[in-house]
């Protein structure tokens, strides 16, 4: 196996261009090293951890910019993330154990493109974009288009994620990330639901609603029909319950050792309803109308 520790982004992407499918990027290694132990070793490993300046969280022009090498623990302990993107903070807080959070990077979580990746549904709902470097230049790839299937993104074999750009949501909005797992801690999500709600000025109707679902389709998805059912409407209990049922019908979960597809759908419905109720209460101070 060829092993490289590039010192610059340019060097890293030229290695990826040269080796193509034979190369594997490694950042924190919490996925890659497990794969190398239990699946197969790549022919070429490109360790990007020595590239300086890729771990940061900063606010700039109405967005938070997060470097791809930022550890999940940095996101969890960042006052800026907690204050400006509580939805993302929640997913970092519920992520694995302290040891894994210290090592795992947000870039690795995104590029792994696991349907159950903790930060993905929140980033999808926050309408984040991936800033990706290729040997021929940089591209901004919206999260709504980034994921192609389990383990597959628009980055392909030759792209390197440099940064995640997250537009700050409206100050009047509130979000929730709810995770259901077999075990309470140290387990990947059986279902993850991210909700972001923005009420209108009167605090009765939902001006905007976004719902992201994780672990219930080949990629993280937005529950577009459920969002549409609520947008511009009065947040009444019956409507919220109906939207939660629609969200469940938009999911296409599999049955595996963690759960049956049917049970996952039921959890989607429950968590979506709960997420909508909690977000609505957090932003308006009122319960969803009876």
In the complex, the residues that contact ligand FAD under the rule CB under 6 A are: 24-32, 34, 48, 68, 95-96, 100, 103-105, 107-109, 111-112, 117-118, 155, 160-161, 188
Q: Which is nearer to ligand FAD, 68 or 246 (CB)?
A: 68
What's the CA gap between 170 and 288, in Å, rounded? 21
Q: Which is nearer to ligand FAD, 57 or 197 (CB)?
A: 57
Share in percent of the chain as helix, strand, coil (round to 5): 40, 25, 35
3 close to 45: Cβ distance less than 8 angstroms:
yes
Q: Is 173 left (phi over 0), alpha (psi -120 to 50) or beta?
A: beta
Could you tell me which of 77, 105, 259 has the C-alpha nearest to residue 183?
259
Q: Which is nearer to ligand FAD, 107 or 212 (CB)?
A: 107
DSSP 78-121: -HHHHHH-HHHHHHHHTSS-HHHHHH-BHHHHHHHT-TT-TTHH
What are the residues whose beta carbons fall under 8 Å from the beta carbon of 169, sequence distance 6 or more?
85, 126, 175, 196, 198
Q: Which is nearer to ligand FAD, 182 or 238 (CB)?
A: 182
What's the CA gap between 254 and 186, in Å, rounded? 21
C-alpha Rg value of the chain to the nearest Å: 19
Q: Which is nearer to ligand FAD, 106 or 223 (CB)?
A: 106
Three-state DSSP at 186 gives coil
Shortest CB 130 distance to ligand FAD, Å: 9
Shortest CB 98 distance to ligand FAD, Å: 11
Shortest CB 198 distance to ligand FAD, Å: 26
What's the CA gap between 232 and 22, in Å, rounded? 50
Residue number closest to ligand FAD, CB atom: 108
161 close to 155: Cβ distance less than 8 angstroms:
yes
240 close to 230: Cβ distance less than 8 angstroms:
yes
What's the CA gap between 72 and 199, in Å, rounded? 30
Shortest CB 100 distance to ligand FAD, Å: 5
Shortest CB 108 distance to ligand FAD, Å: 2
Shortest CB 54 distance to ligand FAD, Å: 8
Q: Which is nearer to ligand FAD, 115 or 199 (CB)?
A: 115
Strands of 218-262, DSSP E = 221-222
Q: Which is nearer to ligand FAD, 71 or 199 (CB)?
A: 71
Q: Which is nearer to ligand FAD, 151 or 167 (CB)?
A: 151
Shortest CB 28 distance to ligand FAD, Å: 3
């Amino acid at each position: 196996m060829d092993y490289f520790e590039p010192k610059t982004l340019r060097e890293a992407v030229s290695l990826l261009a040269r080796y193509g499918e034979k190369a594997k990027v490694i950042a924190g290694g919490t996925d890659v090293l497990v794969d190398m132990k239990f699946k197969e070793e790549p022919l070429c490993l490109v360790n990007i951890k020595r590239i300086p300046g890729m771990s940061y969280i900063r606010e700039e022009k109405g967005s938070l910019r997060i470097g791809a090498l930022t550890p999940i623990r940095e996101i969890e302990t960042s006052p800026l993330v907690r204050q400006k993107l509580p939805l993302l903070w929640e997913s970092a807080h519920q992520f694995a154990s302290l040891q894994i959070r210290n090592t795992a990077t947000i870039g690795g979580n995104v590029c792994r493109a696991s349907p159950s990746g903790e930060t993905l549904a929140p980033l999808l709902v926050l309408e984040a974009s991936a800033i990706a470097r290729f040997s021929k230049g940089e591209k901004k790839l919206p999260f709504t288009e980034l994921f192609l299937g389990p383990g597959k993104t628009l980055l392909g074999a030759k792209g390197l994620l440099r940064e995640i750009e997250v537009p700050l949501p409206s100050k009047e909005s509130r979000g929730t990330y709810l995770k259901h797992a077999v075990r309470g801690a140290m387990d990947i999500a059986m279902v993850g639901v991210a909700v972001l709600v923005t009420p209108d000025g009167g605090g009765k109707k939902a001006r905007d609603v976004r719902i992201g679902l994780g672990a219930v389709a080949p990629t993280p998805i937005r529950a577009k029909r459920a969002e549409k059912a609520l947008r511009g409407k009065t947040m009444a209990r019956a409507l919220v319950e109906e939207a939660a049922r629609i969200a469940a019908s938009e999911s296409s979960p599999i049955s595996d050792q963690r759960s049956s597809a049917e049970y996952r759908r039921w959890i989607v419905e429950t968590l979506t309803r709960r997420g909508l109720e909690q977000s609505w209460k957090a932003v308006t101070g009122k319960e969803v109308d009876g």
